[in-house]
């Protein structure tokens, strides 16, 4: 269900040269470094290179006019470890600027343009670096060095020097801080291909292929901690849309983030491309939720037979539809050691569908209140895929009642995809079936994307400043699972 993020997944790039003297903007999310944007500026030219989540690079060269508006741009996008995409050429009309929510240099350029206009508040017309779209950016002067820049429902509090060069910016409601640094070279933020071990070699990563009884192959990545096993392990389970092993493309890769957090705590992690997606074979078009549950069971069986893995300590971590599949598998396999559901449904499928559609419709200002119910019914009547029909037919509670292993039920407080009554419904169903180790956690300000997102609508995910899965989600899931799988504290800390 993170599909809307894939609309922006084409925004990625290979590195181009950047002078070591270039200034850098460091973006932190809840204290975690999520991206670096190097900026080299002359009177007529701006060269900006952003690396996001160590895996996505945006390299742009922009021609500047004397009034600090922008005329032409060339942008190269790539994922780490991949070939660069074709350059994107752009033009901007008189007085316009280029804008990217993923390049902090856009904020600085907006302030410089507003300074040139010398107005207390200016509305700037902006065009995207990546597509034929236009936006409005409002810049308001607070005093000689403080500014407010607003775009895409985000309000940046900006501090500049006397010349208008940005020193810092904050998005308080997102937990984002952006800080200018000098002398921060690219070697301090190395690239990390999506399916590889991290640059710091904190753990190992290998490509694996798992043969399913039905004849298809499941391709994935197995990460294992440094040191000697056998290690406890976790199988990650994707959401409803066709997904690769990372649940998305750079810079949004929630399952890679989860795998990283768990492996650094001493837990081996298996994550795979869905059947018929990425390097996995098989027919995705005809597969159902029950088929994916069978694939997960196959992955568990494969892990149990692998040397270096403790077959008695294997857990499931499911996101969205995967949060339904985890109890489905645990209900029929008493040997599962623990499960974590992330934004998993606790109500029947039709209620999930109405909740999602209603959340978007009632927040759409173009739909009159009197027309909302008609629009909701129209969207509910849309043709469904085989997978969607299967998902909607399942009652989650029947599997929750049969889940006996320890369970952590996690959901974001601004989730507009899965009703927020789901976690406690799942917990009470599990407890009514005799499960005595069930934990519920709601994380404020996190949407179904698992990113910090106070608004929550998936139509806005493409503009989110957040790139890294919520540190609160990762920390809660990682610490709880390490405890339930018996990872000794010293071992977990050494792995991290």
List, for residues 351-381, the tens digit of each pLDDT value.
999 999 999 999 999 999 999 999 999 999 9
pLDDT, residue 27, reads 97
List, in order, residues 6 or more apart from 450 with CB less than 8 Å away.
Answer: 254, 319, 342, 343, 412, 469, 470, 473
**Alpha carbons 221 and 205: distance in angstroms, whole number:** 6
Q: How confident is the model at residue 17 (pLDDT cuts 50, 70, 90)?
A: low
Whole-number percent of the chain with pLDDT over 90? 88
The answer to whether the beta carbons of residues 407 and 437 sit under 8 Å apart is: yes
The answer to whether the beta carbons of residues 486 and 47 sit under 8 Å apart is: no
Q: The pTM is what? A: 0.93
First to last CA, the chain: 30
Which helix or strand (DSSP H or E) is residue 315 part of?
strand 309-319
pLDDT, residue 489, reads 66
**Alpha carbons 98 and 125: distance in angstroms, whole number:** 9
Is the preceding peptide bond at 251 cis, omega within 30 degrees of 0? yes
- Stronger pLDDT, 13 or 425, i.e. the higher one: 425
- The mean of the pLDDT values for the chain is 92
Q: How far is CA 167 from CA 107, 144, 310, in A?
A: 11, 13, 50
pLDDT, residue 162, reads 95
**Alpha carbons 75 and 473: distance in angstroms, whole number:** 34
User: How many helices (H) and strands (E) in the chain?
Assistant: 11, 21
- Distance from CA of residue 146 to its chain's centroid? 31
**Alpha carbons 157 and 153: distance in angstroms, whole number:** 13
Q: At 321, list the tokens.
A: 């539809």
> Could you tell me the domains of the chain?
3-182 (no CATH), 203-495 (3.40.50.1820)
Q: How confident is the model at residue 258 (pLDDT cuts 50, 70, 90)?
A: very high
pLDDT, residue 5, reads 33
List, for residues 188-211, the tens digit of each pLDDT value.
999 999 999 999 999 999 999 999
pLDDT, residue 8, reads 34
Q: How confident is the model at residue 290 (pLDDT cuts 50, 70, 90)?
A: very high
The answer to whether the beta carbons of residues 64 and 44 sit under 8 Å apart is: yes
pLDDT, residue 7, reads 31
List, for residues 50-59, the tens digit of each pLDDT value.
999 999 999 9
pLDDT, residue 340, reads 98
pLDDT, residue 139, reads 98
307 C-beta neighbours (distance < 10 Å), count: 6
**Alpha carbons 318 and 315: distance in angstroms, whole number:** 10
Phi, then psi, of 194 in degrees rounded to 5:
-55, -35
pLDDT, residue 209, reads 98
> Half-sphere exposure of 93 toward its Cβ, with a 13 Å CA cutoff?
8
List, for residues 326-338, the tens digit of each pLDDT value.
999 999 999 999 9
The answer to whether the beta carbons of residues 453 and 466 sit under 8 Å apart is: yes
pLDDT, residue 460, reads 86
Q: How confident is the model at residue 79 (pLDDT cuts 50, 70, 90)?
A: very high
- Stronger pLDDT, 385 or 20, i.e. the higher one: 385
Q: What one-character-per-residue DSSP string does 67-101 give? A: TS-EEEEEEEEEETTSPPPPPEEEE--TT-EEE-T
**Alpha carbons 51 and 38: distance in angstroms, whole number:** 9
pLDDT, residue 491, reads 52
Q: Mean pLDDT across the stretch 19-28?
A: 81
Which has the minimum average pLDDT: 12-21, 383-392, 394-403?
12-21
pLDDT, residue 4, reads 33
List, for residues 80-125, the tens digit of each pLDDT value.
999 999 999 999 999 999 999 899 999 999 999 999 999 999 999 9
Does the pLDDT value for residue 181 go beyond 90? yes
The owner of tokens 């600027």 is: 97
Does the pLDDT value for residue 11 go beyond 50? no
The answer to whether the beta carbons of residues 192 and 199 sit under 8 Å apart is: yes
Q: How confident is the model at residue 180 (pLDDT cuts 50, 70, 90)?
A: very high
The answer to whether the beta carbons of residues 319 and 339 sit under 8 Å apart is: no
* C-alpha dihedral sign at 189, 194, 196, 201: positive
**Exposed, middle or buried: residue 483 (CB in 10 Å: 0-12, 13-18, 19+)?**
middle
The answer to whether the beta carbons of residues 211 and 282 sit under 8 Å apart is: no
């Amino acid at each position: 269900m993170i599909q809307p993020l894939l609309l922006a997944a084409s925004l990625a790039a290979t590195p181009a040269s950047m002078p070591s003297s270039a200034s850098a903007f460091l973006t932190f999310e809840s204290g975690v470094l999520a991206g670096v944007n190097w900026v080299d500026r002359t009177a007529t030219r701006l060269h900006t290179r952003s690396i996001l989540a160590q895996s996505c690079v945006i390299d742009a060269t922009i021609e500047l006019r004397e009034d600090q508006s922008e005329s032409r741009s060339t942008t190269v996008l790539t994922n780490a470890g991949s070939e660069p995409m074709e350059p994107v050429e752009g033009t901007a009309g008189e007085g316009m600027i280029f804008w990217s929510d993923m390049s902090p240099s856009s904020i600085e350029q907006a302030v410089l343009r507003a300074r040139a206009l010398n107005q207390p508040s200016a509305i700037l017309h902006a065009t995207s670096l990546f597509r034929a779209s236009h936006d409005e950016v409002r810049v308001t002067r607070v005093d000689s060095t403080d500014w407010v820049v607003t775009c895409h429902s985000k309000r940046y509090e900006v501090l500049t020097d006397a010349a208008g060069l940005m020193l810092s910016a904050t998005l308080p409601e997102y937990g984002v801080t952006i800080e200018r640094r000098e002398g921060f070279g690219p070697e301090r933020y190395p690239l990390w291909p999506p399916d590889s071990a991290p640059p710091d070699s904190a753990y190992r990563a290998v490509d694996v292929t798992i043969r399913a009884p039905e004849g298809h192959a499941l391709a994935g990545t197995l990460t294992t901690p440094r040191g000697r096993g056998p290690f406890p392990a976790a199988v990650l389970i994707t959401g409803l849309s066709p997904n690769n092993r990372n649940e998305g493309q750079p810079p949004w890769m929630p399952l890679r983030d989860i795998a990283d957090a768990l492996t650094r705590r001493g837990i081996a992690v298996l994550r795979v491309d869905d059947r018929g997606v990425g390097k996995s074979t098989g027919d995705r078009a005809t597969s159902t939720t029950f088929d994916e549950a069978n694939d997960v069971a196959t992955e568990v069986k494969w892990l149990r037979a692998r040397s270096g893995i403790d077959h008695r300590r294997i857990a499931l971590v499911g996101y969205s539809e995967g949060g339904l599949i985890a109890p489905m598998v645990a209900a029929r396999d008493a040997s599962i050691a623990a499960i974590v559901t992330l934004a998993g449904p606790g109500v029947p499928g039709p209620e999930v569908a109405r909740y999602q559609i209603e959340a978007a419709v009632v927040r759409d200002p173009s739909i009159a209140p009197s027309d909302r119910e008609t629009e909701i019914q129209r969207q509910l009547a849309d043709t469904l895929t085989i997978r969607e029909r299967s998902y909607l037919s399942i009652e989650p509670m029947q599997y929750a009642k049969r889940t006996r292993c320890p369970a952590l039920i996690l959901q974001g407080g601004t989730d507009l995809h899965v009703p927020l009554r789901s976690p406690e419904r799942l917990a009470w169903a599990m407890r009514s079936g005799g499960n005595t180790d069930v934990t519920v956690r709601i994380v404020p300000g996190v949407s179904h994307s698992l990113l910090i997102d106070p608004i929550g609508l998936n139509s806005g995910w493409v503009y989110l400043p957040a790139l890294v899965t919520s540190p609160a989600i990762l920390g809660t899931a990682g610490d709880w699972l390490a405890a339930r799988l018996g990872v000794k504290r010293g071992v977990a800390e050494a792995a991290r």
